[in-house]
Structure 1
């Protein structure tokens, strides 16, 4: 029986926070023990299983300290990929972990973006000017097997963890048991994340304004979809007042799913002190918004792989759920 061709070309695109993926014996944070050989192998095996389950065509990862470890995890998945890279972690990342790209699609351009535009520098109390991302943003220009072009921005923004002052040796300069000091340290974190969001917004505008080229933002934004910092990047609300704003707006892939039977009322990718949050997200440009006159396709469905969040804390697993979207281009 002849099967008619699909009316779409598609790609599975996913985001995964790998929770400090580092080689065994390598100290990544001064206050955390390095992985032993056996613990490392368990982490690689678990990540390989999850990557096999995701089976994404394009996977953006966070918290990669060593590109070699990312390559081992991908190999353990048994899935075949043309590209496995983590810019800045080729010889081991220093200071903060990096983002990685695992792709079956050819990469036309892969760039690590660390510095803000000078207009986005922001003074933060006791820290001075914030001028760069703590974890550089990853920019990838990809081309699909049918010639589809896709630009991807991958980000891992500053966490909500309080930003306490420390000296050059890493020793505390503040009383961390003082509630007022804790509040000020949380303010610093919020301001850093907001500055990063504003700088990321500039990238979104530059890459999307007037181009009519599909753009996707993927990653751990460390805030929910409706948070001020997230909306600084997406500017979705502006579309309600100005339809032309859709040119540079981003839309939450979760809200755009065209397969309603698979959509749930709630999704979460992280649980902190018993509170579920959707920190890991996929945002798309107007070109994937079904019904838009500029649409080249749609978001078929979005899935969150989070069962492991309830299996107990173990650093060989991730403390984040993984998010996967099925994006489609019209033929």
Structure 2
């Protein structure tokens, strides 16, 4: 009797940094003006159009100051998401949105089994940062959603935003500089602070990934703004993809770049970048997947069919109504039999 070919369910996932998505007339950084009503409406309309083009089943977002603003973007898209959450950026009184730094969120059409934010680093992963002291927690806590697809398959999806490369200069309690920012050696030390903080966050995120994946069999997708490229030390701290080359057992807790896992039939165009810094294209926004999407794995449950980059707007000039990041979308398949 011939083998029955597998049936597949498709899953569209997308990630996007929304560049300070906040309600109008609300100060999110002391050195920046809030959005006027007109600016806000323009930003909501633009972001809604992007969401409609992505049409993802699961949407991971970063740089959200107000959960209410994200809901406005979704309403503008015309799409329906039964679950929308940005922990730490809620607007139901007495909450007044995120304070100090923006948050990450998830919107999805799938059934939500569980949602968790991770704030503190695990013991042993605190790092001393020169001039700042112990770095003990994520600036923007990663958000994990455990989702159930229609055929019953559970999938873990995480939205993340690691510390940027922007130099971390020391400030007083009122936000005033206490270092000479024109001193090049001071600037080096400030950049080192950012690197140490991002490295500590990457290592702490790796611990979460290991705990989720080790022997579980539940697929995991980690996506968001890593503020570094796929082969950087910090990204590989999270993914540990290279460990698989000399230790096959490492697949159980490794993550793989979805773009590099695409099926042979996928059209891999030379436009795979999500940010432009000083004229140079970079891949900062990434989708990483677990072993269950790796062809040939004993634990394979599906595959990565296609990864698309929505980045044309990066060439349209600087405008804070648009994001300064491209959006990344992956089409995954999971077997239903």
TM-score bin (small chain) = over 0.9
Describe the SS at the equivalent of 2:80: coil
Aligned twin of 2:221: 216
Describe the SS at the equivalent of 1:312: coil
Aligned twin of 1:30: 30
Aligned twin of 1:41: 41
Aligned twin of 2:84: 84
Is 1:94 aligned to 2:127, yes or no? Answer: no
The number of residues matched between the two structures is 328
- Unpaired segments ≥5 residues, structure 2: 92-96
Indicate conservation of the 8 Å contact 2:271/2:309, yes or no.
no
Alpha-carbon RMSD: 1.3
Is 1:179 aligned to 2:184, yes or no? Answer: yes
Describe the SS at the equivalent of 1:196: helix
Equivalence map 1:31-70=2 (5 Å): 31-70=31-70
Is 1:300 aligned to 2:298, yes or no? Answer: no
Equivalence map 1:229-268=2 (5 Å): 229-265=234-270, 267-268=272-273
Q: CA deviation at 1:259?
A: 4.2
Q: What is the distance in 2 between the residues matched to 1:228 and 1:71?
A: 35
Q: CA deviation at 1:265?
A: 4.3
Indicate conservation of the 8 Å contact 2:6/2:335, yes or no.
no
Indicate conservation of the 8 Å contact 1:259/1:301, yes or no.
no
Aligned twin of 2:94: none
Is 1:198 aligned to 2:166, yes or no? Answer: no
Q: CA deviation at 1:118?
A: 2.0
1:172-212 CA-to-partner distances (Å, cap 9, x unmatched) read 01110111110110000000000000000000000000111
TM-score by length of 2: 0.95
Q: What is the distance in 2 between the residues matched to 1:144 and 1:314?
A: 37
Q: CA deviation at 1:260?
A: 3.6
- Unpaired segments ≥5 residues, structure 1: none
Q: CA deviation at 1:266?
A: 5.0
TM-score by length of 1: 0.97
Q: What is the distance in 2 between the residues matched to 1:101 and 1:208?
A: 20
Report the more deviating stretch, 261-270 or 32-41.
Answer: 261-270
Q: What is the distance in 2 between the residues matched to 1:228 and 1:12?
A: 28
* Superposed structure 1 runs of 4+ greater than 6 Å apart: none
1:101-159 CA-to-partner distances (Å, cap 9, x unmatched) read 11000111111111111211011111110000011110110111111210012110000
Describe the SS at the equivalent of 1:115: coil
Aligned twin of 2:11: 11
Equivalence map 1:160-171=2 (5 Å): 160-171=165-176
Indicate conservation of the 8 Å contact 2:266/2:306, yes or no.
no
Q: What is the distance in 1 between the residues matched to 2:231 and 2:277?
A: 18
Is 1:273 aligned to 2:278, yes or no? Answer: yes
1:223-268 CA-to-partner distances (Å, cap 9, x unmatched) read 0000000000100000001000010000000000014441124510
Q: What is the distance in 2 between the residues matched to 1:293 and 1:206?
A: 20
